[in-house]
Amino acid sequence: MSILVDKNTRLLVQGITGNEGLFHTTQMVEYGTNVVGGVTPGKGGEWVLDGKIPVFDSMKLAVEATGANATIIFVPARFAADAMYEAADSGLPLIICITEGVAVQDMMSVRTYLDQKKTRLIGPNCPGLLTPGESKVGIIPGNIAMPGNVGIVSRSGTLTYEVLYAMKNVNMGASTCVGIGGDPVNGTNFIDILEMFEHDPKTEKVMLIGEIGGNEEEKAAEFIANKMTKPVAAFIAGRTAPAGKRMGHAGAIIEGGAGTAEDKIKALENAGVRVAKHPEELPSLLK
């Protein structure tokens, strides 16, 4: 049992013939992910990875031919919204969009559209998902994590890698790691994933990695206080960030005094969450 992706995930790769798409498809296949096909308009009929993976012109054709149940998007930002629309129209229940730099206006339209569908979007501008030992869907390095009972949800890709590696060094494994991305408008938020972890029998503890900007961490704190029975530890990046300056992610900006690290940490601590001062401290807080 895990959330979102496992050994039964049948994955399509949109943008599979591009440099990024092909590189990360190779990494995912080597990890053991079941990549059943790729989609690049105009390249239908071709094969990649030494003839192992077929390429289709459209998502509709790819889903019909392969029985896929998830897709990952590696296309340039200007085409990402259309790729998400096409994936949703193909009837897939799960879309993971790695692309960064997708316009906020585009994402507002995509999110409105997806809310009318039975489709879950992870991202954009995220590292994807990893269920150690089963399926790697995205760009999280597979060799830094081991199977276990800790669920991880994060707005930051690189901090996720740091925490997974710190966990492995103390023989602590993950059930599923979910990078939700740091853009102002995305498909899935902290509460969505926390709720999944709460109901996942394989997940016994949870780590939340947040950052400055917005109020998603405060909302998560309220959910943890009222709905969660499993222990949660957290880290909030950006304690020393100056107000009004965007730090890293498009969503990581403090405006009007809202979205500060102090506010988030206080809300989480009030909800009974143990908050680390440094990301590598997280495993010890859940030991």
For 162-173, what is each residue's pLDDT tens digit? 999 999 999 999
Residue 245, pLDDT score: 56
- State the total domains in the chain: 2
> What separation in angstroms does the CA of 140 have from each of 27, 104, 114, 247?
10, 24, 25, 21
CATH number assigned to the domain comprising residue 264 = 3.40.50.261
**AA identity, residue 190:** F
Rounded Cα–Cα distance for residues 265 and 196 (Å): 23
| Per-residue confidence (pLDDT) for residue 238, from 0 to 100 | 82
pLDDT at position 97 is 98
Q: Answer yes or no: is 1 within a domain.
A: no
Cβ count within 10 A of residue 240: 8
pLDDT category of residue 213 using cuts at 50, 70 and 90: confident
The pTM assigned to this predicted structure is 0.94
Q: Which residues are catalytic?
A: 249
Q: How many CA atoms lie within 13 A of 191 on its CB side?
A: 12
CA 229 and chain centroid, separation: 23
73 is written with which tokens?
């998007």
Cβ contacts of 48 within 8 Å, gap of 6 or more: 16, 17, 22, 25, 38, 55
- Alpha-carbon distance 240 to 155, whole Å? 18
Say if 70 falls within a structural domain: yes
Residue with tokens 């109901």: 199
**Any domain includes 194:** yes
Query: Parallel, antiparallel, or unpaired for β 34-39 and 53-56?
Result: parallel
| CA 53 vs CA 12, 20, 72, 93, 96: distances in Å | 10, 16, 15, 21, 19
Residues 87 and 175 occupy one common structural domain:
no
Four-CA torsion 194, 200, 203, 205, nearest 10 degrees: 40
In the chain, DSSP assigns E strands to: 10-14, 34-39, 47-48, 53-56, 70-73, 94-97, 120-122, 128-131, 135-138, 147-154, 174-179, 205-211, 232-237, 274-276
- Per-residue model confidence (pLDDT) at position 2: 78
135 located within any domain: no
**What is the rounded distance in angstroms from the CA atom of residue 109 to the CA atom of residue 5?**
26
| DSSP one-letter string for 18-77 | SHHHHHHHHHHHHHT-EEEEEE-TT-TT-EETTTTEEEESSHHHHHHHH---EEEE---H
Domain housing 33: 10-122
- What integer pLDDT is reported at residue 131 of this predicted model? 98
- For residue 85, being part of any structural domain is answered with yes
Quick one: 164 and 111 in the same domain?
A: no
pLDDT tier at 276, thresholds 50, 70, 90 = very high
> Is residue 208 situated within a structural domain?
yes
Same domain, 68 and 147: no
Q: Do residues 162 and 191 both lie within one domain?
A: yes
Query: Residue 133 falls within a domain, yes or no?
Result: no
Q: Is 144 in the same domain as 274?
A: yes
Find the mean pLDDT for residues 259-265.
91
128 belongs to a structural domain: no
User: Does 86 share its domain with 167?
Assistant: no
Q: Which of 59, 94, 122 is the last residue of a domain?
A: 122
Radius of gyration of the chain (CA): 18
